[in-house]
């Protein structure tokens, strides 16, 4: 079958395979976390990269509604150095946004670049997101 495909056909086949890989990567967002300044479930942009110091921020989790998030924790790192950690108490958004959950944490008080890592109840890494604290 491949012998019958012309060069243009191979380009089309390659393009179709590339699109399939992109579509698969887009679906892989389940389980991803994002840091945001608000907890508005209907807001499609659930991420702010710049946050104020010492304020309440929210970590968003895209996860199947049937999965329990009991026992999830977080850690905030500054260049690999732990600066904060604690338990996350996720609240689930109502339909049609029920794949999303949010939990609050307090941003560090010093300006800088940070990484927030979310862990499940076994201590395994769920996902992470980077953010900046700016004055």
Among 42-46, 50-54, 128-132, the range scoring the smallest mean pLDDT is 42-46
* Average confidence (pLDDT) over 13-40: 58
Please give the backbone phi and psi of residue 52, each rounded to the nearest 5 degrees, phi first. Answer: -75, 155
Q: Could you read off the pLDDT of 52-66 as tens digits, one per residue?
A: 999 999 999 999 999
Domains of the chain: which residue ranges?
A: 1-29, 31-133
Q: Which of 77, 81, 57, 65 is nearest to 119 (CA)?
A: 77
Output the pLDDT for position 30: 76
Tokens of 100: 């999303």
CATH class, 31-133 region: mainly beta
Q: Could you read off the pLDDT of 95-105 as tens digits, one per residue?
A: 999 999 999 99
Decide: helix, strand or coil at residue 23: helix
Q: How confident is the model at residue 29 (pLDDT cuts 50, 70, 90)?
A: low
How big is the chain, counted in residues? 135
């Amino acid at each position: 079958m491949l012998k019958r495909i012309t060069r243009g056909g191979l380009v089309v086949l390659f393009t179709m395979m590339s699109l399939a890989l992109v579509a698969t990567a887009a679906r892989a967002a389940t389980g991803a976390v994002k840091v945001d300044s608000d907890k508005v479930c209907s807001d499609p942009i659930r991420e702010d990269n710049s946050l104020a110091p010492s304020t309440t921020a929210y970590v968003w989790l895209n996860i199947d509604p049937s999965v329990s998030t009991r026992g999830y924790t977080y850690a905030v790192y500054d260049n690999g150095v732990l600066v904060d950690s604690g338990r996350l108490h996720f609240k689930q958004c109502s339909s049609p946004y029920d794949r999303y959950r949010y939990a609050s944490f307090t941003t560090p008080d010093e300006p800088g670049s940070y990484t927030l890592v979310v862990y499940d109840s076994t201590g395994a890494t769920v996902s992470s997101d980077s953010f900046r604290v700016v004055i």
